[in-house]
Copies of this chain bind each other. A is one copy, B any other.
Amino acid sequence: MQIKDKSGLTIVPVPSLRRLTIYLPYLKELSSGVTEYVSATTIARALGYIPIQVRKDIAYTGITGKPRRGYPISELVNQLEVFLGWKSYKNTFLVGAGNLGRAIMGYPGFKDCGLQIVAAFDADPAKIGTRLFGIEILSMDEFKTLVKRMGVQLGIITAPEQSAQEIADIMVDAGIHGIWNFAPVKLNIPDDVIVQNENLASSLTVLSKKLDQIV
């Protein structure tokens, strides 16, 4: 079954989407092996899910398998990569070249999913003109012009929370459509801009509450 929105795009529940991003690296590993097909049961067992969930998640993508055999691994890998957009480069600007910004810039896990941080920005004049992991650090003054010139769609905020809203405003004004926000503040943003908040304190709290429950 395929649920589509008005424009014909398949709508995948976010939890399914997240799981699909977890299946993919595992399948890539498998694809270097000898077996040709993989079943939902195998995937589920390897990653700690249940087979029906894996089957349903894959069904959302429109990818089909063969009864009795499972899914052809290399085809599954290719189609999943396309479906998740890991093959299309996402030109991105990062603002805030502190510790967290640097960690994001140097994070090896992004090489496979198409994130291209083409420049970083920082308020500190001492950092401007330097490079981190080959990424040049520029002044915010150039932000808007460069967004247009380089066709940047995504912005990452790894700046202190005090400046996050101001940075978001500049991003929106520059025409950026998606913001990945690591600052623990609610950004005021027009409806047509997508914000993905990454809140580390919140994740930690979930973990520690779960701990309380079992201890």
Chain A interface residues (CB < 8 Å from chain B): 5, 9, 11-12, 14, 17-18, 21-22, 25-26, 46-48, 84-86, 90, 98-100, 102-104, 106-110, 112-115, 153-154, 160-161, 177-178, 180, 184-186, 192, 194, 196, 198-215
In the bound complex, how far is the Cα of B214 from the Cα of A9, in angstroms?
10
Contact present for A205 and B103 (CB under 8 Å)? no
Chain B residues, CB < 8 A from A5: 213
In the bound complex, how far is the Cα of B113 from the Cα of A208, in angstroms?
10
Among B9, B14, B48, B205, contact of A17 (Cβ-Cβ < 8 Å): B205
In the bound complex, how far is the Cα of B206 from the Cα of A11, in angstroms?
12
Chain B residues, CB < 8 A from A106: 98-99
Contact present for A85 and B208 (CB under 8 Å)? yes
Contact present for A109 and B184 (CB under 8 Å)? yes
Contact present for B153 and A184 (CB under 8 Å)? no
The 6 A-B residue pairs with the shortest CB-CB distance in the complex, in nearest-first order: A196-B207, A103-B103, A99-B103, A21-B202, A100-B103, A178-B211
Known: A17-B206, A113-B201, A198-B200. 14 other contacts (CB 8 A): A18-B202, A18-B206, A21-B199, A21-B205, A47-B186, A85-B212, A99-B106, A109-B184, A110-B200, A153-B211, A178-B211, A180-B203, A194-B207, A196-B203
